[in-house]
Each structure stands twice: as structure tokens, then as C-alpha cells.
A = this chain, B = another copy of it.
Amino acid sequence: MSTVRVHNFAISLDGYGAGADQSLDRPFGHADGRLMGWFAATATFRAMQGASGGTTGVDDEFARAWGPDIGVEIMGRNKFGPQRGPWPDDGWTGWWGQEPPFHTPVFVLTHHPREPLEMAGGTIFHFVDATPAEALELARQAAPGRDVRIGGGVETVREFLLADLVDHLRVVEVPIVLGRGERLWDGLEGIEERFAVETVASPSGVVHRTFSRVAR
């Protein structure tokens, strides 16, 4: 059976996975680059941008685990864009330019379904109004036998955790206090009982926590 994985999901010390006031210019809201600075510094991220260099230590090892064996991603609408409500006719195709880094089908959860959007490099965005379980079923049909990545944002990851549909969760704790935004852990009291947790501190200052679901 393919597994459901969350990677490189950064949160602040106070548990926020995104800041407040997301906008076109600020996908992470007032957090800006602070949650993902460790990731932006890695060789893996730089290679995605067509650049060389970057860090090659533990942060890079975690960063690169994002891709292998993944056949499909599920993301929330707020990860795709800052729009709310019915889609405006604004030509928006996501934050990632003409060739997004996914190179797989991507299911975007929205209450406003629309036609699929095919990008360069193999990424196809499908816009579906579905529960987490329904979306997972669609994703598995789209990529039989491959793993499914839950790409965020905060609400989407939390909903999949609440529905107990996540096998591997890799959280990155960043030593900042955001104060405002969306909290990952709300409503998840006692979730540690469902997972084995492994912890590594990086010299960059972030902590990588790997939650692996214990057998049921």
C-alpha cells in the first residue's frame, strides 16, 4: 500500500505553519521567508531553481526526501493561491511559474471546482471539492502504487491528521515566535499516541521531527 507523507512542513515555536495576512506578494503572510529559510538555503532547493551551491547537511537530507516515490500531491487552495471564494478571471496558475516543481498530478481542494490546469513539466492541477478521504482516493487512482504527498497548507495538513490519514509527517520547528497565523496542532490533542517520533537538531537552528504512524 502506498503511504501518505508530509514533508518539510515548517512551524514556529508557537505552532504556526503560516503567518497572518496572506496575499499575492506574501504566500506565508507576515512570516515571509522566515519559516522556510532553512529550506531555501539547501542544495535541493537551489537545484530546483536551476542554481548550484547550497547547504548539504541534515537540512538538505530532509529537504530532498520530499520527492522520491511520490506520484501525486494533494494541496489546499490556500497553498495554490491567495484567492478566496469563486475564482476570479486573473490568469493565476500558482506561485511556481510556468514549470512547477511537482511534475505530477496535483489535487487542489476547493469548494469551487474548475477545469484542470496543465503546466509544463508534467504538473496538472485538478480542482476538486472533496473530503480528505475522497481526495486521497482520487489521488491514489491518479498514481497507482505511488506515495501521496500532502503539500499543505496548514488547514489541509491538519484535516488529514484529524482524519488519521497520514503515515509519515515531517515537521520542522523553526526558532521564531510568529504570534499570529494558522496553527498546525489545534484540535490534535494527544496525537503523539498515534505516532513514533524521532528528533534531529540541525546546526541551522531548526529541529526535524519525524512522526511515523504506529501499526494499527
Which A residues form the contact surface with B (CB < 8 A)? 13-15, 173, 175-180, 183, 185-192, 197, 199-202, 205-207, 209
Whether B209 contacts A191 by the Cβ 8 Å rule is no
Query: Contacts A13-B15, A15-B14, A185-B13 known; A199 to B175 CB distance under 8 Å?
Result: yes
Interface pair B13/A175, CB less than 8 Å apart: no
Q: What is the total number of copies of this protein in its complex?
A: 2
A15 to B15, CA, bound (A): 7
CB<8 Å pairs between A and B, sample of 10: A13-B192, A14-B15, A14-B188, A15-B15, A173-B173, A177-B191, A179-B189, A199-B206, A200-B201, A201-B201
Nearest CB of B to A198, in Å: 8
* CB contact under 8 A between A177 and B192, given known A14-B183, A207-B207: yes
Contacts of A183 in B (CB 8 A): 14
Residue of B nearest to A189 (CB): B179
A190 near B197 with CB under 8 A, answer no
- Known contacts: A14-B183, A15-B14, A173-B173. The answer to whether A199 contacts B189 by CB under 8 A is no
Among B177, B189, B209, point to the contact of A185 (Cβ < 8 A): B177
Closest to A30 in B: B189
Partner of A188, one of B177, B187, B202: B177
By the criterion CB–CB under 8 Å, are A189 and B200 in contact?
no
Partner of A207, one of B177, B189, B201: B201
A140 CB → nearest B CB, Å: 28
* Nearest chain B CB to A142 CB, angstrom units: 32
Question: Which of B14, B191, B199 is A201 in contact with, Cβ under 8 Å?
Answer: B199
- Whole-angstrom distance between the alpha carbons of A183 and B200 in the complex? 24
Closest chain B residue to A208 by CB distance? B201
> Whose C-beta in chain B lies nearest to the C-beta of A19?
B189
Q: Which of B175, B190, B197 contacts A205 (CB 8 A)?
A: B197
Point out the residue from B188, B202, B209 that lies within 8 Å of A175, measured CB to CB.
B209
